[in-house]
């Protein structure tokens, strides 16, 4: 990404201003520039290229409604002609502009034979710290997008483990794995139960980084690499994009990269239960009862409610360390998408201050999140006549809340945040192409950076 954004002081001037300031800016321009903008019927919205007397680009102006929006300039890099541009903008907007510039360059082209030969424009910013920061955030976003976008054939449990190992190697961390029947030996029965039907062996990926003297933060990510629904099989339309059901794992790896790249003073642990929810003769059945790591027995009402099963064992393990905070990410329920749509991730928290601070961080950096209630009155929806609980209620209402309540039973003492994310863009937005997307990781990172200084 260094070839797209650099800390230099040369290039064609690129003026980025807000619409409210456009008229004042226009009045300060020379007669030739005013005439050009008038004759080309530029209305003070979007991009205008202003030539000099030789027909070369003399300056570019990009007018946006809100330059503090981190995605306002997300499509600009693909709109400008090739060349280097020097940013002229209000200093308070540089962080947002540089991030938007880089994420707008993203393209997932791993399987495209004839890749685009177009050379993108580059942006010079006379601020080395801003350039370095933008690159770190854009790289973490790209990692999350890449992992989600990769088809399931090339993103199975062993591939998630490879991604974690690559991060550990890059940042001097450590990765351990508990694989296959060893999950039973080490008491991770629900991870094993969900993943045992696949030829791709289930596993718990355990990444650690940082010094033990620092406060511990544990991230848990749902790593269901493909979700057929199991024996309660999804219809074709519901299965089509289930390569993204490991989006929680992708999110915690992207967030972990941010934490390690910024060298936050925390003791980081990342737990990813990685499985494929497949169909075979040994698949988990509706009506089966499984015993979780915590010792609670769970009657399987629906094998398509598998994410909470793999997460509950990982969450129980996460609490063993008594960390300062546990945060999990999961593509857990369609109900959350019904409630908030695909572009606003919902989250639950057992700590009001943590929830408020994460929400505030997300508003500042255009990574909005919305807190949902852990409505305890729904707890008895999990009642079972033959086990401690079921894995999901028989009625469909409030399903995102009930899923969170299920998980909460496995985190009793530690402050806990649970994100239920889409992990996927279903429409193109500025700087956000169709496909895999990172939701909430910048909000959480900014919260962690402020708390653990």
pLDDT digits (tens, 9 = 90+) for 123-160: 999 999 999 999 999 999 999 999 999 999 999 999 99
Nearest to 306 by CA among 226, 384, 379: 226
Give span(s): CATH 3.40.220.10, the chain. Answer: 5-105
The dihedral over CA atoms of 56, 61, 62, 64, expressed in degrees to the nearest 10, equals -170
d(CA 102, CA 226): 30
Residue 118 clears pLDDT 80, i.e. is over it: no
Catalytic status, residue 92: no
Half-sphere exposure of 101 (CA within 13 A, CB side): 32
Among 2-6, 240-244, 449-453, the range scoring the smallest mean pLDDT is 2-6
Q: What integer pLDDT is reported at residue 385 of this predicted model?
A: 96
Question: How many other C-beta atoms can be found within 10 angstroms of the C-beta atom of residue 239?
Answer: 15
Q: What integer pLDDT is reported at residue 2 of this predicted model?
A: 74
Q: What's the pTM value of the predicted model, to 2 decimals?
A: 0.97
Q: What integer pLDDT is reported at residue 169 of this predicted model?
A: 98
Handedness of CA 107, 108, 110, 114 (dihedral sign): negative
Residue 354 clears pLDDT 90, i.e. is over it: yes
If you classify domain 136-451 with CATH, what class do you get? alpha beta
Local confidence band at 239 (pLDDT 50, 70, 90 cut-offs): very high
Catalytic status, residue 244: no
Q: What integer pLDDT is reported at residue 115 of this predicted model?
A: 78
Hunting for tokens 């694989």 — which residue is that? 179
**Alpha carbon of 348 to those of 135, 215, 326, 327, 416: distances in Å?**
30, 22, 12, 10, 8
d(CA 438, CA 47): 27
Give span(s): CATH 3.40.630.10, the chain. Answer: 136-451
Tell me the mean pLDDT in the region 98-115: 94
Nearest to 419 by CA among 438, 393, 394: 438
Per-residue model confidence as pLDDT tens digits over 295-322: 999 999 999 999 999 999 999 999 999 9
d(CA 410, CA 207): 21
Best CATH choice for the domain 5-105 from the list 3.30.365.10, 3.40.220.10, 3.30.360.10, 3.40.50.850: 3.40.220.10
Tell me the mean pLDDT in the region 210-217: 97
Local confidence band at 117 (pLDDT 50, 70, 90 cut-offs): low
Local confidence band at 20 (pLDDT 50, 70, 90 cut-offs): very high
**Active-site hit among 19, 34, 162, 234:** 234
Residue 44 buriedness (CB in 10 A; 0-12 / 13-18 / 19+): middle
Q: What integer pLDDT is reported at residue 196 of this predicted model?
A: 98
Residue 28 clears pLDDT 70, i.e. is over it: yes
Q: What integer pLDDT is reported at residue 172 of this predicted model?
A: 98
Residue 67 clears pLDDT 90, i.e. is over it: yes
Q: What integer pLDDT is reported at residue 146 of this predicted model?
A: 98
Looking at the DSSP assignment, which residues form a beta bridge with residue 16?
62
**Active-site hit among 196, 269, 308, 409:** 308
Radius of gyration of the chain from Cα atoms?
24
| For helices 307-320 and 399-408, angle between their N-to-C axes, nearest 10 degrees | 30
Query: In b/e form, how buried is each residue of 86-105, taking b as 16+ CB within 10 angstroms?
Result: bbebeeebbbbbbbbbbbbb
Residue 382 clears pLDDT 90, i.e. is over it: yes
Percent of the chain past pLDDT 90, that is, above it, reads 97
Average pLDDT of the chain, as a whole number: 97
Per-residue model confidence as pLDDT tens digits over 424-450: 999 999 999 999 999 999 999 999 999
Long-range CB contacts for residues 47-53, cutoff 8 Å, separation at least 24 = 47/76, 47/79, 47/80, 49/81
């Amino acid at each position: 990404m260094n070839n797209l954004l650099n800390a230099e002081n040369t290039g064609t001037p690129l003026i980025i201003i807000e619409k409210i300031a456009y008229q004042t800016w226009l009045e300060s321009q020379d007669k030739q520039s005013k005439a050009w903008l008038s004759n080309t019927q530029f209305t003070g919205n979007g991009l205008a290229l202003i030539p000099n007397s030789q027909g070369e680009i003399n300056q570019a102006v990009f007018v946006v409604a809100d330059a503090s929006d981190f995605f306002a300039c997300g499509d600009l890099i693909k709109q400008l002609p090739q060349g280097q541009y020097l940013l002229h903008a209000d200093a308070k907007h540089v962080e947002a502009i540089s991030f938007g510039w880089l994420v707008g360059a993203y393209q997932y082209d791993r399987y495209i034979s004839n890749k685009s030969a177009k050379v993108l424009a580059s942006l010079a910013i006379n601020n080395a710290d801003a350039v370095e920061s933008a690159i770190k955030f854009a790289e973490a976003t790209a990692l999350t997008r890449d992992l989600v976008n990769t088809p399931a054939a090339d993103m199975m449990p062993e591939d998630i483990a490879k991604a974690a190992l690559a991060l550990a190697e890059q940042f001097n961390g450590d990765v351990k794995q508990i694989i296959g029947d060893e999950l039973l030996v080490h008491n991770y029965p629900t991870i094993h139960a969900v993943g045992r039907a696949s030829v791709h062996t289930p596993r718990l990926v355990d990444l650690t980084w940082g010094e033990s003297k620092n406060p511990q933060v544990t991230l848990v990510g749902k790593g269901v690499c493909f979700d057929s629904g199991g024996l309660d099989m999804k219809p074709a339309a519901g299965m089509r994009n289930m390569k993204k059901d490991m989006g929680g794992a992708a999110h915690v790896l992207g967030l972990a990269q941010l934490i390690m790249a910024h060298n936050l003073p925390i003791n980081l642990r990342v737990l990813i239960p990685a499985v494929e929810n497949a169909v075979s003769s040994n698949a988990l059945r509706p009506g089966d009862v499984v015993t979780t790591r915590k010792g609670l027995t769970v009657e399987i009402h629906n094998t398509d409610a598998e994410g909470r099963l793999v997460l509950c064992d990982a969450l129980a393990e996460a609490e063993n360390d008594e960390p300062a905070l546990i945060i999990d990410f999961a593509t857990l329920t369609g109900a959350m998408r019904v409630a908030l749509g695909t572009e606003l991730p919902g989250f639950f928290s057992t700590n009001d201050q943590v929830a408020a601070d994460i929400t505030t961080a997300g508003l500042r950096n255009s990574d909005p999140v919305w807190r949902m209630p852990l409505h305890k009155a729904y707890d008895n929806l999990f009642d079972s006549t033959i086990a401690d609980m079921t894995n999901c209620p028989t009625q469909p209402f409030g399903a995102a809340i009930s899923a969170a309540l299920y998980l909460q039973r496995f985190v009793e003492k530690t402050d806990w945040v649970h994100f239920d994310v889409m992990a996927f863009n279903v429409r193109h937005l500025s700087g956000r192409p169709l496909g895999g997307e990172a939701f909430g990781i910048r909000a959480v990172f900014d919260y962690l950076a402020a708390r653990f200084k």
